[in-house]
């Protein structure tokens, strides 16, 4: 062993009679192989090489004969020799005087393996003939070789083993035939084996950024804001002009904008309308107010882009949530009260807020919001002494820009600046998530490293 399985590959050229002859020649070799399988283990391996449903060498010969002759029967010389060869070898073993069951065992396993792998009537008929055939079957051979020749003192035991084996194999054959007749074999092969262990599919989780979006959305939702989303590719009008940033306004300089390279316009005369990746979510202030009359209360989660070089705190793509509230009677107090509510919901009730004057072209006044450092309790000192690592000893953390909507913006959306007022804010989500969850490198949000993602199931 192993048996030369390649043998089967070289038979395609032969015509039917020669094919039978070649198989018969191979059967002689098989007899020798059977003789080398001495332990039960070796025999099992040998039998399964011959008959395993998919791979067994016998079945590949079987299908070759079938393809050539249209059917395979016990009358096929080569096939018959093949099937008998191993049994012949086992039958010639020893005198059976000591422990005869040892000699019956391989014969039984040989037949069992063949029967178990006989998946249709044609194959089954061969298996049955191998056992029952009067001329060349194993059953009569056992009678001739073992029973007749057994020493008188062993005869009784051999006879008993013989009867047991006969009964056992006849039961098996009957059972097998039942399965084949009822189409059970085909069914069994088609059906799902529920005892097999399934494929383990890892369950994913929402990205931490997405989770923080959700947290913030929930907070604003609870005080009457609704969520809207907008395009990531914008026109300069929405990203700048309508936000009171005319073409040569110096803040455009800060925005490090990605402009899109566009194909020429259809008529090839006029320049195409420039497009850009939005540098903030503020364009949605305009788009929302264009569509909707006051009162307006929306937040806008989304991705924004700036031509920043990546490092631990910068990325060319990051996330913001824009907020906008406009109505007839919104005051600066509503504004700071709303922000304070949000910050305390997000970081905890003991956190304080403060604001400092700032500048944005689309808010007036503009402010920068800070929170008292939630990690050192606003003391600037770490628990074990020394400066707090989060606020660097400053006791305050810069959070985001905001302000009262500049009346000039209302002019772009046909709101009456004399009647309405409102506030807007733009929260950087990545920074907020890094703060809250102690992450020190923004790049990790974009690397999709499962070891990171798994920490925030
Ligand atoms: N859009 C501003 C930025 O990205 C933030 C902002 C939004 C400021 C709304 C004021 C009002 O920097």
User: Among the ranges 89-93, 121-125, 284-288, which has the highest mean pLDDT value?
Assistant: 284-288
Number of C-beta neighbours around residue 133 at 10 A = 18
The larger pLDDT score, comparing residue 222 to residue 249, is at: 222
Percentage of the chain modeled with pLDDT above 70: 94
Eight-state DSSP code of residue 146: I
Determine which helix (DSSP H) or strand (DSSP E) holds 117, and give its type and residue range. Answer: none
Nearest CA to ligand 1 atom 5: 426
394-452 pLDDT per residue, tens: 899 888 999 999 999 999 999 999 999 999 999 999 989 988 888 888 999 999 888 88
Q: State the sign of the Cα–Cα–Cα–Cα dihedral 75, 76, 78, 83.
A: negative
Q: Are 426 and 299 in contact (CB under 8 A)?
A: no
| Sequence-ordered list of residues with C-beta below 8 angstroms from that of 363, at least 6 positions apart, any chain | 401, 402, 403, 404, 405, 406, 423, 424
Q: Is 338's pLDDT higher than 80? A: yes
pLDDT digit string, tens, across residues 11-51: 777 888 888 898 988 888 888 888 888 888 999 999 988 98
Residue 311 tokens, joined: 């490092």
**Element holding 367 (H helix, E strand):** strand 363-372
Does any ligand 1 atom lie closer than 6 A to the CB of residue 424? yes
- Asked if the model's pLDDT at residue 301 lies above 60, the reply is yes
Closest atom of ligand 1 relative to the 366 alpha carbon? 10
Q: Is 361 a pocket residue for ligand 1 (Cβ < 6 Å)? A: no
DSSP one-letter string for 245-296: --TT-THHHHT---BPP-PPPTTSSSPPPP-EE-SSSTHHHHHHHHH-PSPE
**Relative to the CA of 285, which ligand 1 atom is closest?**
9
283 lines ligand 1 (CB under 6 A): no
Which domains, ranges and CATH numbers included, belong to the chain?
Answer: 5-190 (no CATH), 208-453 (3.30.930.10)
Max avg pLDDT among 46-50, 209-213, 387-391: 209-213
DSSP calls for 75-106:
T-HHHHHHHHHHHHHHHTSS-S-S-THHHHHH
CB of 61 within 6 A of ligand 1: the answer is no
CB 71 within 8 A of CB 122: yes
239 lines ligand 1 (CB under 6 A): no
For residues 450 and 203, give the distance between their C-alpha atoms in angstroms, rounded to a whole number.
Answer: 11
Is the predicted pLDDT of residue 236 greater than 60, yes or no?
yes
Ligand 1 atom nearest residue 323's Cα:
9
pLDDT in tens, 130-160: 999 988 899 998 888 888 888 888 888 889 9
- How far is the C-alpha of 140 from the C-alpha of 146, rounded, in Å? 10
Nearest-angstrom CA–CA distance, 395 and 387: 9
CA 149 to CA 155: how far, in whole Å? 8
Give the Å distance between the CA of 39 and the centre of ligand 1: 82
β-bridge mates for residue 370, sequence order: 354, 398
Ligand 1 atom closest to 400 (CA): 5
Average pLDDT over residues 383-389: 84
Q: Is the CB of 422 within 6 Å of ligand 1?
A: no
CA–centroid distance, 301 to ligand 1, in Å, is 13
Closest protein CA for atom 4 of ligand 1: 280
333 C-alpha to center of ligand 1: Å? Answer: 19
- The pLDDT value recorded for residue 374 is 83
CA nearest to 257, candidates 300, 307, 211, 222: 307
User: Could you tell me the distance, in angstroms and rounded to a whole number, from the CA of residue 16 to the centre of ligand 1?
Assistant: 86
Distance separating alpha carbons of residues 260 and 189, to the nearest angstrom: 57
Out of 357, 426, 430, 432, mutate this one to test ligand 1's pocket (max ligand atoms within 8 Å of CB): namely: 426
Q: Are the C-beta atoms of residues 296 and 325 closer than 8 Å to each other? A: yes
For the question of whether the overall pTM of this predicted structure is more than 0.85, the answer is no
Q: Is 245 in the pocket of ligand 1 (CB under 6 A)?
A: no
Q: Ligand 1, closest atom to CA 280? A: 4
Spatial separation of the C-alpha atoms in residues 3 and 211, rounded to whole Å: 61
Match 């098996």 to its residue by tokens.
Answer: 172
Nearest Cα residue to 36 out of 78, 104, 89: 89
Q: Ligand 1: does its nearest atom lie under 6 Å from the Cβ of 426?
A: yes
Instruction: Collect contacts of 243-251 with beta carbons under 8 A, ≥24 apart.
Output: 243/282, 243/283, 243/285, 243/286, 243/361, 243/362, 243/409, 244/361, 244/362, 244/406, 244/408, 244/409, 244/412, 245/361, 245/362, 249/361, 251/360, 251/361
Ligand 1 binding pocket includes 402 (Cβ within 6 Å): yes
Name the residue of 257, 317, 399, 401 to mutate for ligand 1: max ligand atoms within 8 A of Cβ: 401
- Whether 1 has a pLDDT exceeding 50, the answer reads no
Residue 308: which of 448, 401, 444, 442 has the closest Cα?
442
Mean pLDDT of 246-250: 86
- Ligand 1: centre distance to CA 399 (Å): 11
Residues 6+ apart with CB under 8 A from 76: 20, 65, 69
Q: Ligand 1 center to residue 329 CA distance, Å?
A: 22
Answer whether 217's CB lies under 8 Å from 266's CB. no
Burial (CB count within 10 angstroms: exposed 0-12, middle 13-18, buried 19+), residue 448: exposed
């Amino acid at each position: 062993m192993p048996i030369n399985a390649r043998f089967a590959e070289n038979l395609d050229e032969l015509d039917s009679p020669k094919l039978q002859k070649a198989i018969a020649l191979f059967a002689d070799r098989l007899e020798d192989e059977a003789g080398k399988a001495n332990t039960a283990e070796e025999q099992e391996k040998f039998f399964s090489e011959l008959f395993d449903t998919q791979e067994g060498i016998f079945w590949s010969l079987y299908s070759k004969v079938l393809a050539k002759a249209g059917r395979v029967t016990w009358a096929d010389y080569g096939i018959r020799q093949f099937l008998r060869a191993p049994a012949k070898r086992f039958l010639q073993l020893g005198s059976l005087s000591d422990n005869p069951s040892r000699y019956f065992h391989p014969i039984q396993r040989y037949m069992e393996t063949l029967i178990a792998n006989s998946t249709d009537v044609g194959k089954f008929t061969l298996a049955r003939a191998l056992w029952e055939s009067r001329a060349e079957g194993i059953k009569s051979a056992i009678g001739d070789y073992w029973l007749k020749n057994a020493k008188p003192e062993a005869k009784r035991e051999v006879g008993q083993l013989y009867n047991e084996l006969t009964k056992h194999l006849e039961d098996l054959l009957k059972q097998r035939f039942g399965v084949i007749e009822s189409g059970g074999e085909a069914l069994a092969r088609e059906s799902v084996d529920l005892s097999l262990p399934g494929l383990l599919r890892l369950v994913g989780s929402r990205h931490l950024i997405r989770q923080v979006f959700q947290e913030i959305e929930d907070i604003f939702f609870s005080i009457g804001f609704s969520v809207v989303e907008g395009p990531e590719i914008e026109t300069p009008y929405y990203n700048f002009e309508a936000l009171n940033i005319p073409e040569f306004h110096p803040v455009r300089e800060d925005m490090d904008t990605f402009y899109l390279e566009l194909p020429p316009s259809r008529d090839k005369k006029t320049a195409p309308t420039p497009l850009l990746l939005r540098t903030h979510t503020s364009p949605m202030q305009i788009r929302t107010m264009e569509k909707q009359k006051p009162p307006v209360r929306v937040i806008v989660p989304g991705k924004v882009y700036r031509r920043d070089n990546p490092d631990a705190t910068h990325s060319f793509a990051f996330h913001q949530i824009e907020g906008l509230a406009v109505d007839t009677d919104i005051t600066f107090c509503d504004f700071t009260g709303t922000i304070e509510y949000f910050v305390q919901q997000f970081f905890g009730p003991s956190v304080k807020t403060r604001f400092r004057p700032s500048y944005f072209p689309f808010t007036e006044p503009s402010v920068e919001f800070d929170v008292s450092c939630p990690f050192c309790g606003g003391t600037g000192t770490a628990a074990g002494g020394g400066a707090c690592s989060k606020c660097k000893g400053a006791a305050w953390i810069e959070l985001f820009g905001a302000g009262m909507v500049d009346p000039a913006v209302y002019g772009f959306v046909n709101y009456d600046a004399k009647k309405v007022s409102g506030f807007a804010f733009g929260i950087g989500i990545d920074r907020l998530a890094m703060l809250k969850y102690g992450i020190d490198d923004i790049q990790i949000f974009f690397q999709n490293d499962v070891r990171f993602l798994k920490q925030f199931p």
